């Protein structure tokens, strides 16, 4: 998979992709992540990428020209499964969307900033708008990093244990059950006996019951 991220602050995306699973995924060739500075496509001598709103109002707006120039350059080089805009009023990012996006070959992600982008970009270039929650960030970079992380870990070969992602919370509309590791007892706190029993059928039933219980308690909306 190849992921192109368009931003006015590329330095915000250096750390999330230079360690742990994201770095290993790139080293193994499972994903290419390219971060593009929108300012490089500004024809303004000061490399400005924003301007005042028509009609007045607080907040600057990202200009159409440099964004369109960058998107058109990338589209001329390859076909994209989705051109995504990170925005608070987009579709809520959930596990099902992660699964779908992970099947693509090329994704482009535009990070919003200031008051947002000129609406013509959204109308004519964007194919999918995503929100990671009902709140506003300073820009779309951190949200884009969340999307990339959630999608890339689903690509076959990225995780050492490929079955791990299949048992994550939300994959079956349930939260994950509790997990334990050694020691079996710590300061009087014991691991449930069933997990030490070696009876894998009972263990699986226990996990299913616990997942359902936890979902009912913490996220009953998932069961609707």
Burial class (CB within 10 angstroms; exposed 0-12, middle 13-18, buried 19+) of 133:
exposed
Residue 162: what pLDDT? 62
List b or e across 28-50, with b for residues whose CB sees 16 or more CB atoms inside 10 angstroms: eeebebebbbbbebbeeeeeebb
Residue 178: what pLDDT? 94
Q: Enumerate the CATH 3.40.1280.10 domain ranges in the chain, comma separated.
A: 2-152
Residue 133: what pLDDT? 96
Residue 172: what pLDDT? 82
Q: Enumerate the CATH 1.10.1270.20 domain ranges in the chain, comma separated.
A: 169-223
CA-based R_g, the chain, Å: 22
The topology under which CATH files domain 169-223 is 1.10.1270
| Residues lower than pLDDT 50 in the chain | none
d(CA 128, CA 118): 16
What is the pTM (predicted TM-score) of this model? 0.90
Domain 2-152, CATH homologous superfamily name and number: SPOUT methyltransferase, trefoil knot domain (3.40.1280.10)
d(CA 184, CA 174): 26
């Amino acid at each position: 998979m190849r992921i192109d991220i368009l931003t006015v602050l590329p330095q915000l995306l250096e750390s999330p992709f230079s360690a742990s699973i994201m770095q290993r995924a790139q080293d193994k060739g499972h994903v290419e992540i390219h971060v593009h500075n929108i300012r490089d496509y500004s024809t303004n001598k000061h490399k400005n990428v924003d301007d005042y709103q028509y009609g007045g109002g607080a907040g600057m707006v990202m200009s159409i020209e440099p964004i369109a120039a960058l998107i058109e350059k990338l589209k001329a080089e390859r076909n994209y499964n989705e051109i995504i805009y990170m925005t608070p009023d987009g579709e809520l990012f959930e596990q099902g969307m992660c699964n779908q996006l992970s099947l693509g070959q090329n994704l482009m992600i535009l990070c919003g900033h200031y008051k947002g982008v000129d609406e013509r970009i959204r109308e004519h270039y964007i194919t999918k708008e995503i929100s990671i929650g009902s709140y506003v960030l300073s820009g779309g970079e951190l949200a884009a990093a969340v999307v990339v992380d959630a999608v890339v870990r689903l690509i076959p070969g990225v995780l050492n244990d490929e079955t791990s992602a299949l048992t994550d919370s939300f994959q079956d509309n349930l939260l994950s059950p509790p997990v334990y590791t050694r020691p079996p007892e710590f300061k009087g706190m014991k691991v449930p006996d069933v997990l030490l029993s070696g009876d894998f059928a009972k263990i699986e039933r226990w996990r299913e019951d616990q997942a359902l219980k936890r979902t009912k308690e913490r996220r009953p909306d998932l069961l609707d």
